[in-house]
Amino acid sequence: MASKNPFDPALFDENAVSTETKAINGALVELLEKSDDNWDIGVAEARARRDRGEGPFPLVPKSERAITRTIPRPGPGKGGDVELRIIAPENPKGVYLHFHGGGWVFGSADGQDPMLERIADNCGLACVSVEYRLAPEHPYPAGPDDCETAAAWLVANAKAEFGTEVLTVGGESAGAHLAAVTLLRMRDRHDYVDFAGANLVFGAFDLRWTPSARAFGDEPYLILRTHDLHKFDECFIPKGADASDPDISPLFADLKGMPPALFSVGTDDALLDDSLFMHARWAAAGNDAELAIYPGGAHGFVAFPGELAASAVKRMDGFLKQVTE
């Protein structure tokens, strides 16, 4: 017997978008259209401006509770260490392995300390955010390799470091992509399928780009344009690589044995279809999967003010609490 739709089609109706959300999106478009384009000024300059707080968005406060831990990259010729940023409560009941967003090109492990503090305090989880290598200096597979290294280290050391073996994983945008890839690598390369849950927030799961990503366009400039997606591809995927390789586009993977997952996405996001499609395949593979759709939510909306973001944050925290009980 066929089941009902996993979501209410009315969520996609323009009338479902609140006045507050429309105002926030309008303000974002106005702000971004007055800002220099990252690709015009170049990746290095865009990063430097962000670090100085000179981009369109203010610097995110750094946590005084955060500590840094480095772990070695395994294997001959790998060299260097992977840096982990840890924000933990007393007596954590689990660990949240986090990968930041930024199109595999921008962002850092210390760029979302308030969010990680919230998860640590609300959910009782030790948050471990990975400072993975960024493209274009370090294209695929460097970033995913670092994320896999961090996950394997946690599997071996979480009990000694945090007093718990309960592991969860998650991330936003490119970070959600890296979380999915890491889960698959841990299953296939390490025979580990015991993550308690995955919090996958407006992720990119098909790097050939889905219909919504292709059709979104470049105007108005609402956080993530089709042009940005193509530029991120150029930076992250080496020439000649197959973008449909499941290690690059996890939508194409065999998804059996994945943990319970919450997919969150707004309807005004170029990556909308990525979450719709990945949720469907996740569930079809026999895994528990939830899909949370937010009317009018832009890419990155959970970091903005307003009731829409607050409701998404509440549901994500509730999910992480539930899977770690």
Question: How large is the average pLDDT for residues 168-185?
Answer: 99
Does 1 have pLDDT greater than 60? Answer: no
- Would you name the residues annotated as active-site residues? 173, 269, 299
Confidence of residue 147 (pLDDT cuts 50, 70, 90): very high
* Strand partners of residue 172: 201
For the chain, the domains span 24-323
| pLDDT surpassing 60 at residue 311 | yes
Where do runs of H (alpha helix) occur along the chain? 19-33, 38-41, 43-51, 113-123, 142-162, 174-190, 211-215, 226-236, 272-284, 307-323
Spatial distance between the Cα atoms of 175 and 181, rounded to a whole number of angstroms: 10
Write out pLDDT tens, residues 68-114: 999 999 876 666 899 999 999 999 999 999 999 999 999 999 999 99
Q: Is the pLDDT of residue 2 over 60?
A: no
Give the pLDDT mean for 247-264.
99
pLDDT in tens, 274-303: 999 999 999 999 999 999 999 999 999 999
pLDDT of residue 80: 85
CB contact set of 261 (below 8 Å; sequence gap of 6+): 197, 198, 199, 200, 279, 282, 287, 288, 289, 290
175 SS3 class: helix
Mean model confidence pLDDT for the chain: 96
56 Cβ contact partners less than 8 Å away, ≥ 6 residues apart:
31, 32, 34, 35
- pLDDT, mean of residues 170-174: 99
Bridge partners of residue 291, in order along the sequence: 263
Whole-number percent of the chain with pLDDT over 70: 97
Residue with tokens 């832009």: 298
pLDDT per position as a tens digit, 27-81: 999 999 999 999 999 999 999 999 999 989 999 999 999 999 999 998 766 668 9
The pLDDT of residue 76 is 66
CATH topology for 24-323 is: Rossmann fold (3.40.50)
